[in-house]
């Protein structure tokens, strides 16, 4: 803080907090935070079919357990063969199921989802669709209803689609939850881009070198408040060199990538009444409420309070303007 004379006033913590005063113990991470840390840390490992399969499993569980989507399924794009390949999904009883044996040919709906994502629509909702479940090796239709399709896109193009519906309860679409899923898919796409060769079962068994995106992700998982200069220092690089290397590998800036991670953490922490916005923003890694407000408005076109407190059905236009 600058004083009226223009000089900085030093805070002497040894005087304010005597050495005899006990410091409080670090808070135990919330379940949501722990799950997010686990999910994000897994993509920082040296990629292999095994580590990526585990990460994709946790991503699907994260969408249900933390975000609260009722049923989800994550399919990856096999562009060479023009098919969508299953990974993990939700069965008829709401439990996570292995769906690696499932494939289907890329269709007009998938192409439309990818095209709309490229135009700035993070997800696309289709009404009155057949709701599918896998049971005992058979594919069954368990009803009809809406299906939300959220593209997973990397810097070099589409990687897959996260599908979700509410076949179990027939609840209406929750725009807030879809926004959280869209941010997660954006982060997932950027993290998966360096691992394209391991995403499909037919990929060659080779291990690419650890990249800048993975190193930066690991540091931001530990401390989302780190500045670009802090990251550069931790990685023994100049800020300029780090910025160029990161953009070359991820096709986005460190600031934008870090904001995605912070917004994801924010959505894990705020309550539905929007009464704890400041606490949630600071816990997510934003340096101030003003910074959080600016980033949130740039992404959603509204202030945080306006967005979070408006009626659910009134959020559609704002959400569909999110640019990825």
Q: How far apart are CA 62 and CA 49, in angstroms?
A: 20
Q: What is the pLDDT of residue 123?
A: 92
CA angle, corner 84, sides to 78 and 88, nearest 5? Answer: 110
Q: With CA atoms as reference, report the closest residue to 131 among 62, 61, 71.
A: 71
Q: How far apart are CA 244 and CA 254, in angstroms?
A: 10
| Topology given in CATH for the domain delimited by 31-198 | Beta-Lactamase (3.30.450)
Q: What is the pLDDT of residue 158?
A: 93
143 is written with which tokens?
A: 């009803």
Low-confidence ranges of the chain (pLDDT < 70): 1-7, 9, 11-51, 135-137, 197-198, 200-211, 271-275, 310-324
Q: What is the pLDDT of residue 312?
A: 47
Q: What is the pLDDT of residues 100-138, one digit of tens each?
A: 778 888 999 999 999 999 998 989 999 988 888 876 667
Q: What is the pLDDT of residues 223-254, one digit of tens each?
A: 888 999 999 988 888 899 899 888 887 778 88
Going by their DSSP bridges, the two strands 71-78 and 96-98 should be labelled as unpaired
Q: What is the pLDDT of residue 39?
A: 57
CA angle, corner 129, sides to 165 and 85, nearest 5? Answer: 70
Contact 178, 320 (CB under 8 A): no
Q: How far apart are CA 37 and CA 246, in angstroms?
A: 21
Q: What is the pLDDT of residue 13?
A: 61
Q: How far apart are CA 9 and CA 199, in angstroms?
A: 53
278 is written with which tokens?
A: 């400041």
Q: What is the pLDDT of residue 317?
A: 42
Q: What is the pLDDT of residue 313?
A: 41
| 212-319 homologous superfamily | Homeodomain-like (1.10.10.60)
Q: How far apart are CA 145 and CA 128, in angstroms?
A: 4
DSSP code, position 45:
S
């Amino acid at each position: 803080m600058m004083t009226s004379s223009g000089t900085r006033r030093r805070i002497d913590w040894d005087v304010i907090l005597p050495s005899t005063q006990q410091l409080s113990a670090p808070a135990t991470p919330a379940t949501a935070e722990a799950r997010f840390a686990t999910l994000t840390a897994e993509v920082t490992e040296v990629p292999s079919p095994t580590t990526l399969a585990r990460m994709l499993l946790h991503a699907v569980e994260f969408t249900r357990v933390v975000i609260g989507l009722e049923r989800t399924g994550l399919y990856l794009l096999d562009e060479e063969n023009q098919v969508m390949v299953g990974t993990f999904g939700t069965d008829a009883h709401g439990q996570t199921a292995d769906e690696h044996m499932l494939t289907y040919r890329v269709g007009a709906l998938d192409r439309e989802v990818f095209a709309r994502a490229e135009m700035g629509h993070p997800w696309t909702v289709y009404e009155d669709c057949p709701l599918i479940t896998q049971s005992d090796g058979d594919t069954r239709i368990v009803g009809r209803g809406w299906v939300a399709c959220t593209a997973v896109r990397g810097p070099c193009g589409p990687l897959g689609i996260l599908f979700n519906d509410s076949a179990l309860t027939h609840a209406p679409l929750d725009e807030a939850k879809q926004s959280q899923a869209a941010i997660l898919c954006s982060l997932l796409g950027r993290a998966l881009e360096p691992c394209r060769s391991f995403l499909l079962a037919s990929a060659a068994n080779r291990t690419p070198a650890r990249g800048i995106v993975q190193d930066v992700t690991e540091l931001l998982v530990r401390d989302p408040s780190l500045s670009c200069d802090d990251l550069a220092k931790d990685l023994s690089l100049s800020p300029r060199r780090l910025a160029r290397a990161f953009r070359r590998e991820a096709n986005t800036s460190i600031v934008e990538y870090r904001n995605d991670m912070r917004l994801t953490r924010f959505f894990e922490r705020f309550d539905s009444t929007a009464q704890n916005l400041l606490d949630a923003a600071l816990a997510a890694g934003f340096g101030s409420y003003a910074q959080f407000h600016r980033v949130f408005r740039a992404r959603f076109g509204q202030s945080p309070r306006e967005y979070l407190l408006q009626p659910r059905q009134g959020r559609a236009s704002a959400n569909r303007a999110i640019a990825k």
